[in-house]
Amino acid sequence: MATTTGAPDTVAEATGATNTTASAKAAQPAAIELAASAAPGAAPSVAPPSPAATLRTGLGIDVHAFAPAEAHRRLVLGGVDIPYERGLAGHSDADALAHAIADALLGAARLGDIGKLFPDTDPTFKDADSLVLLAQACQAVRGAGFDILDIDSVICCQEPKLSPHRDAMRRNIARAASLDVDNVGIKATTTERLGFEGRSEGISAYATCLLQRKDA
């Protein structure tokens, strides 16, 4: 029993040894199975494959460097034109957030990535509106038999301040993905002046999503 101070009375309590016997017993079948499979000549114990899950998660990451001010590039994130002295360099409008979200969705549907769908060597996508590319990626995901349930994302950026633009970005992404705005999360963070984002050399964006098979 522990004292009222919370300090253990015995070494056994301090180490959790009073529970060791029970947990050791519970672990026995698994231990025996492992030992059997490790025995020379024994067939490994492998669980039968489970049916394909109906839910899928996706992860997308994108990075763009800032172009020099003389390049007069726009800074576009989540389809919002953000007032700043420099824009991001890229073949399209360099909307890192839209690209990260598209990659998360395509990854979850096992459709490759944004570079496969929209190669940056294709002049069609020069200065392309990335919300249009995102909408096309969503169409491909739905065409592959998935409902898009939810998206969350983070933009890492030392400057400019993005929070005033968050709701506009959410509305844009929701419209492009044909989702309720409540199912689009966008957060922004600095990196405490660390790394390329912290030195304002570029911006990174991370996104996750949840899909469900339509026939589930």
CB 155 within 8 A of CB 162: yes
- The pairing of strands 187-189 and 146-156 is parallel
CB of 202 to Mg ion, least distance (A): 11
Nearer to Mg ion, 62 or 197 (CB): 62
**Residues 84-143 within binding reach of Mg ion (CB under 5 A):** 99
Nearer to Mg ion, 99 or 165 (CB): 99
Largest CA distance in the chain: 74
Could you tell me how many residues of this chain bind Mg ion (CB under 5 A)?
A: 2
CB of 147 to Mg ion, least distance (A): 25
Nearer to Mg ion, 13 or 113 (CB): 113
Q: Which residue is nearest to Mg ion (CB)?
A: 99
Nearer to Mg ion, 84 or 125 (CB): 125
Phi, psi torsion values for 82, nearest 5 degrees: -105, 125
CB 169 within 8 A of CB 176: no
Name which of 211, 213, 216, 207 is nearest 77 in CA terms: 207
Selected range binding Mg ion among 30-38, 58-66, 115-123, 153-161, rule: CB under 5 A: 58-66
- The single residue among 58, 62, 97, 105 that binds Mg ion, judged by CB under 5 A, is 62
Burial (Cβ within 10 Å: 0-12, 13-18, ≥19) of residue 214: exposed
Selected range binding Mg ion among 17-25, 27-35, 61-69, 154-162, rule: CB under 5 A: 61-69
DSSP state of 72: -
Nearer to Mg ion, 134 or 210 (CB): 134
Phi, psi torsion values for 209, nearest 5 degrees: -150, 165
Q: What are 59's strand-pairing partners?
A: 208
Taken in order 106, 122, 200, 164, the sign of the CA dihedral is negative
Selected range binding Mg ion among 30-38, 59-67, 153-161, 205-213, rule: CB under 5 A: 59-67
The residue behind tokens 């899950």 is 53
Nearer to Mg ion, 76 or 108 (CB): 76
CB of 21 to Mg ion, least distance (A): 56
The residues that touch Mg ion, with contacts defined as CB under 5 A, are: 62, 99
